[in-house]
Chains A and B, each alone.
Chain A
Amino acid sequence: TQLLEQSPQFLSIQEGENLTVYCNSSSVFSSLQWYRQEPGEGPVLLVTVVTGGEVKKLKRLTFQFGDARKDSSLHITAAQPGDTGLYLCAGLDDKIIFGKGTRLHILP
């Protein structure tokens, strides 16, 4: 069974700080996605990474796919209260599976 482990489970930091959250697996995925979910809503796609070692930037968010395509990280620079939410990674292979997520809270 493929599993995606996300860490940390919870993170609460002050506005303006930097942070990194991780998504790890023992399995290789053809691609990996990051979603953000806000309370009462469904997840919304942020980015898809496909190539090992790939780095994608979305404003203050930087996503990296591991060289072996088994892990990924999300780095947020100068976090803002609007970044608060549940960040989910999803691995794509013969099916799409999700990690349990990192619940991020940015304090103003």
Chain B
Amino acid sequence: DAGVIQSPRHEVTEMGQEVTLRCKPISGHNSLFWYRQTMMRGLELLIYFNNNVPIDDSGMPEDRFSAKMPNASFSTLKIQPSEPRDSAVYFCASSPREAPNTGELFFGEGSRLTVL
């Protein structure tokens, strides 16, 4: 079975450009999470959805960040405009159960973003 699929795996862009990261969760999973990982701050929860509905976006750093989940099989995380401090690995994860009682999280391989 396919796991969580993220794209792109790597993105290098210039400050001010728009960045869109994509995620396809595991089929049948009911919750989806976006995390950001850096050496300094570790793995930070940005936002999560239950059944395609955003539940908690308190971790989204600022208005430049937005996330959508138009259907059960697709989510996007958009940064506009991007800044060098946004450079990080962005992970998408899904779970068969609704958050917060999710049990195991299944992570994608991540999207490494570098903003110059």
Residues of A whose CB lies within 8 Å of any CB of B are: 33, 35, 40-45, 48, 88, 90, 92-101
8 nearest A-B residue pairs (beta carbon): A42-B107, A100-B42, A98-B43, A45-B104, A43-B107, A94-B100, A42-B91, A42-B108
- Report yes or no: A93 in contact with B107, Cβ–Cβ below 8 A: no
- Report yes or no: A93 in contact with B42, Cβ–Cβ below 8 A: no
How many A-B pairs have beta carbons closer than 8 Å: the answer is: 55
Q: Would you list 29 pairs from A and B whose C-beta atoms are within 8 A, ordered by A residue? A: A40-B109, A40-B110, A41-B107, A41-B110, A42-B4, A42-B93, A42-B108, A42-B109, A43-B91, A43-B105, A45-B105, A48-B103, A48-B104, A92-B100, A92-B102, A94-B100, A95-B45, A95-B56, A95-B100, A96-B45, A96-B100, A96-B102, A96-B105, A97-B45, A98-B43, A98-B45, A100-B43, A101-B42, A101-B43
- Report yes or no: B42 in contact with A95, Cβ–Cβ below 8 A: no
Distance in Å: Cβ of A4 to nearest Cβ of chain B: 9
* Total chain B interface residues with beta-carbon distance under 8 A: 23
Question: What is the bound-complex CA distance between A35 and B42, given in angstroms?
Answer: 13
In the complex, which residues of chain A have a beta carbon less than 8 angstroms from the beta carbon of B107?
41-44
Question: What is the bound-complex CA distance between A64 and B6, given in angstroms?
Answer: 33
Question: What is the bound-complex CA distance between A96 and B103, given in angstroms?
Answer: 10
In the complex, which residues of chain A have a beta carbon less than 8 angstroms from the beta carbon of B33?
96
In the complex, which residues of chain B have a beta carbon less than 8 angstroms from the beta carbon of A93?
100
